[in-house]
Amino acid sequence: MTRSFLCTRRIALSVAAGLALSLAAISLAQAAAKIQHLISPGGIQAWFVQDAVVPLIAVEYSFAGGAAQDPADKPGVASLVAALLDEGSGDLDSKTFHERLERRAIELSFSAGRDTFRGSPRMLRDNKDEAFDLLRMALTSPHFHPADVERIRLQVTAGLRHDTTNPSALANRKFLEIAFGDHPCGHQASGTLDSVPTITVADMNDYVGRVLAEDRGRRRCRRGNARQIARPDVRQLAGKGDADAGGRCGGGQAADAHVLPQTVIAFGGPSVKRSDPNFMAAYVVNHILGGSGPSSRLYREVREKRGLAYSMFESLLWMEHSAVFIGNTGTRADRAGDTIDAVEKEVCRIAEEGPTQKELEEAKSYLKGSQMLALDASSKLAQGLLQYQEDKLPIDYIERRNAIIEAVTLDDAKQATRRLWGQGLLTVVVGRAPQAAAQPAAAPAPRSN
């Protein structure tokens, strides 16, 4: 991984400078040939792509650490820091800082993931000096003024409160809690309604000092610590309580009752790390099972043929030292059982039989062609290059990727399906219980005057 910005061992950085708004006229091989590995006199390293068509600079960078560095009893610190870095820094208050951004049409954004803390400045080439000066101040001397902190805290808690009525957010959160237990990988990067009000300015300054300045004491999602999700037996993921290890290929279920208008099912299990030599085979077969909407098996079997689900989504999620696959589907409460059965049946079928040669060829064709669409603008290209750096891929990976996809054989694909799905699923159901859904809602009590 290429890491640098303030400290060469700490940050990954990619820059797309002056890139055309569309790469339609440039082949990926040409784009790959333009990627340069630069090192500044101060030791800053970057992957750099230049095209003189449009005078725009897009930068993506990340610090190692992310939300995994939050205190155990205060998830959400990193997320709150990200929301406040542009609310005044150096000798500029929040109003003046934003006025300088707007005057030069400079965009600064920050976000906290589980393993990394990311930033993304965009500016016209002529404004780069001011843009990088503002970025430097934001990262090195943020104010965290109490009035700004409380204003942003209210926005964050409003979003968290909204999530308590969002069945998809609840289902995915419950899945990660069961999968990882008390490990930081199971914590929500955005925090909770209980934790966010307790976060202090001292907590945020401490985070900046540990992660954005000194980068000490990393606490990432390591395989040895993420105890449940790393185990091969998915039945262990269901934990204790109301788990039922009765799935077709093994596995377990957990329910979380809420009075919601829709029932959502989250399902998943251990996956393949990005560094695994067989990752690409897993990536291809995952596309066959749950990727790209109508072309996937789950979409066809569960939604189109049976009409059980409103939506269907499934993907691989990899962190630095752990990985899961996770799916999400919405349905009526009284059809949740049938939906789970249909999902498990299709997952077990592909695990036992593998994909067909036709499915494999179609998936490889789609994944090779989709790369152009994924990198059709300067910001997208910078984001892609940063992800490659975080995944410790070589600088010419953009050029080699299609050949790696094409090299996946049917035997590789069948081995990957058995490895991913041969042990069944952890399934989490969030929403109204079927018996409650079948009953009419109670009439409101009469109002008294």
Tens digits of per-residue pLDDT, 141-179?
999 999 999 999 999 999 999 998 888 888 888 888 888
Domain ranges for the chain, please list them.
234-437
CA dist., res. 174 & res. 266, Å (int)? 9
pLDDT of residue 33: 55
User: For 297-365, what is the HEC assignment?
Assistant: HHHHHHHHHCCCCCEEEEEEEECCCCEEEEEEEEECHHHHHHHHHHHHHHHHHHHHHCCCHHHHHHHHH
Tens digits of per-residue pLDDT, 374-385?
777 778 888 888
pLDDT of residue 43: 75
Asked if the model's pLDDT at residue 406 lies above 70, the reply is yes
User: What is the arithmetic mean of pLDDT over 78-93?
Assistant: 95
Q: Across all residues in the chain, what is the average pLDDT?
A: 80
Confidence of residue 183 (pLDDT cuts 50, 70, 90): confident
Asked if the model's pLDDT at residue 228 lies above 70, the reply is no
Q: Is-contact 195 291, C-beta < 8 A?
A: no
CATH for 234-437, among 3.40.50.150, 3.40.50.261, 3.40.50.300, 3.30.830.10? 3.30.830.10
Tens digits of per-residue pLDDT, 418-441?
999 998 888 988 886 554 444 444
Tens digits of per-residue pLDDT, 17-43?
543 323 333 445 555 558 888 887 877
pLDDT of residue 238: 35
List beta partners, residue 41. Answer: none
pLDDT of residue 346: 94
